[in-house]
Amino acid sequence: MITVNDIEKALFGWAPLSLATKGDKVGLQTGERSKSVRRVLVSLDVTQAVIREAVFTARADLIVSHHGILRDETRPTDDTDAGLVLLTLCQTGVASIAMHTNLDAAKGGVNDVLAERIGLVDVRVFNQEYDIGHIGRLPAPMSVQDFAAQCKAAVKTGVVRYYDAGKTVQTVALCSGGGGFLLEDAIKAGCDTFVTGDVKHSQFLTAQNQGVNLLCCGHFATENVVVPVVAAFLQKRFPDLEVLLSGETSEPFQCL
């Protein structure tokens, strides 16, 4: 019998709890550790649509996600959206496990997968405080516009916002998801181009002032690349499990 606890233990073996940033509540979000698991649904997020999918379509016993639900103030009530998600999970009996910033930093985790997808080689960590900022190089230099198109196709996003500093793309730093805060650290690490999921207006201005290329490829898109990797890990680790990819997790908006 495979239990929820067995699966959490295996995931922490890949992405240790010690890699999670302070305050990030990773691991078991809801459910009983001793619960038997036959089917797992893997998703980037846990939404009401994903829960319905788990219950009625996948008939899953467990959801494994990247983004967690738990916050210090979150309670399983309908007072907040996160609380309602927790309440729904509790009512359905579907357990949930989240591997968030620990999976961002893990070897073979989100940022390693993203670096490979967008074509980088010789990848290393440039930010030792978080272990999530990575830097590498392209095998051959290319224009910003061509690189933006390559990234768009690689992560399957609807739009890439970018600032072209007039530099050829060669040394690329990245951080999946909300990694804009690492821009200045990436510049100090020697990149000519920085790729992330979320970029503020002020960060585009920093790129302009500092003369570096900056690509904003979407939070969902830069992290969803890890979902099939998580599914493959679980399937290999637990051959008797039925591991399914969510069809209900997607960009929560459309682009014109």
Q: What is the pLDDT of residues 31-60, one digit of tens each?
A: 999 999 999 999 999 999 999 999 999 999
The answer to whether 35 and 61 have CB atoms below 8 angstroms apart is: yes
Burial tier of 190 (Cβ tally within 10 Å: 0-12, 13-18, 19+)? exposed
> Does the pLDDT at position 215 exceed 90?
yes
Confidence of residue 115 (pLDDT cuts 50, 70, 90): very high
Per-residue confidence (pLDDT) for residue 74, from 0 to 100: 86
Q: What is the pTM of this model?
A: 0.96
Per-residue confidence (pLDDT) for residue 256, from 0 to 100: 81
Q: Would you identify the CATH topology of the domain 110-222? A: 3.40.1390
Q: How much of the chain exceeds pLDDT 90, in percent?
A: 93
pLDDT in tens, 161-212: 999 999 999 999 999 999 999 999 999 999 999 999 999 999 999 999 999 9
Which is it for the CA torsion 23, 29, 34, 39, positive or negative?
negative
Q: What is the mean pLDDT of the chain?
A: 96
Of 144, 124, 142, nearest in space to 134 by CA: 124
Spatial distance between the Cα atoms of 11 and 9, rounded to a whole number of angstroms: 5
Structure tokens at 154: 């690689």
Per-residue confidence (pLDDT) for residue 88, from 0 to 100: 97
Fold matches, 4-103+226-244 and 110-222: yes
Average pLDDT over residues 98-119: 98
Residues in the chain: 256
- The residues spanned by each domain of the chain are 4-103+226-244, 110-222
Average pLDDT over residues 89-107: 97
Alpha helices in the chain (DSSP H): 4-14, 48-52, 81-92, 101-105, 110-117, 144-155, 183-188, 201-210, 219-224, 227-237
Confidence of residue 150 (pLDDT cuts 50, 70, 90): very high
Structure tokens at 115: 């670096």
> Does the pLDDT at position 114 exceed 90?
yes
What homologous superfamily is domain 4-103+226-244 in, according to CATH? NIF3 (NGG1p interacting factor 3)-like (3.40.1390.30)
Cα first-last separation, the chain: 48
